[in-house]
A = this chain, B = another copy of it.
Amino acid sequence: MIIVGEKINTSRKIVADAVRNRDKRFILDLAGVQESAGASYIDINVGTFINTEPEDMAWVVDSISGNVKIPLSIDSPNPKAVAAAMGIVKGPVLINSISLEKERFDNLIPIAQEFKCPVIGLLIEDGNLPADAESRMKVADKLVTRLADKGVAHGSIFIDPMVQPLSTSMNGLNEIFRFTAKFKSSFPGVHLICGLSNVSFGLPNRKLVNRAFLAAMMTLGMDSAICDPLDKELMGLIAAQEALLGKDQFCMNFISLSRSGKI
C-alpha cells in the first residue's frame, strides 16, 4: 500500500500558523513523524494561502526536502505553486494533481515530463464529477490514454475517483466500489488512490468511516491512499488487509509491525 501522509495541510489551523510563522521545526517534525509511521510520500498543501501559495509552497518544500528519506507530494491545482516546488525540491516528487481540464492539463504536463514525475489524475471533466461507475470509467479511460500519450507510464499514474462524502450520498458509495473493481480489472498496472478524509465529512465517528472505507476499497483493488499515517488503528487495518489479500508473505510485515508496537 502506498500511503500519502496528509497532515501538512494549511486547512489545519496549527499547520497554517506554522507556515505563516515560518516554523521550520514544526513542519519538519510533522514530516518526520509521518515518515516514521510508514508514509510513502509526504503531501504538502498550502492552498488556503491563495495569494501567496507559490512562495509558501516553496518554503515548505525547502524546509522538508532532503531532510526526510521519502519523496514529497506537491498538492496544488496551481501550476505556479507546482513549478515553485519543482525549482527547489531535491529528488523525486508526486504531482497531486492533474485532470482533463484543459488549462490544468496543459500547464502541468510539461512539468511531469521534465521531472518524470508520477501524477495523481482526478476524475473530473469540464468541472463535472461523473456520477456512476460507467461515467467514471469513461473519464478514467480518457485520462489514462492522454497521460500515456504524453509519456506518463501506467505505473506512474494514480487515478483518484474523487470520493464524495457518504453523508450526501443516497446509495452509500456503491458507485465508487463498482468503479474500483471495474477500473482495476481494465487497468491493473495503474494505481488507484483516494483521499480518505472527505468520505466521512459531516458524520460523527469520522475515523471509523475512513477505516471502513479504506478496508472496503483495498479489497476491491485500491493500492494507495491519502490519509493519516498517525492513525495507528488505520495503519494496522492496512497491514492486516495486505496480509489477507496475499500481499504479505507469511504475514511477515504484519507480525513485524505488531512486534514493534507500530500497529
Instruction: Flag if B237 contacts A215 (CB, 8 Å).
Output: yes
Report A181-206 CB contacts with B as 1/0, cut-off 8 Å. Answer: 00000000000000000010001110
Instruction: Flag if B236 contacts A233 (CB, 8 Å).
Output: no
In angstroms, Cα B172 to Cα A258, docked, is 18
A67 contact set on B, CB distance < 8 A? none
- Is the C-beta of A244 less than 8 angstroms from some C-beta in chain B? yes
Most B CB contacts (10 A, CB to CB) among A170, A171, A237 go to: A237
In angstroms, Cα B44 to Cα A26, docked, is 55
Contact stretch, chosen from A2-10, A143-151, A245-253: A245-253
A194-235 contacts to B, CB under 8 A, are 199, 203-205, 208-209, 211-213, 215-216, 218-220, 233
A204 contact set on B, CB distance < 8 A? 254-255, 258-259
A150-177 contacts to B, CB under 8 A, are 166-167, 169-174, 177
CB distance from A131 to the nearest CB of B (A): 14
Instruction: Flag if A240 contacts B254 (CB, 8 Å).
Output: no
Instruction: Flag if A208 contacts B247 (CB, 8 Å).
Output: no
Instruction: Flag if A258 contacts B205 (CB, 8 Å).
Output: yes
Contact of A219 among B216, B239, B246, B255 (CB under 8 A): B216
Chain B residue nearest to A202 (CB atoms) is B251
CB distance from A151 to the nearest CB of B (A): 34
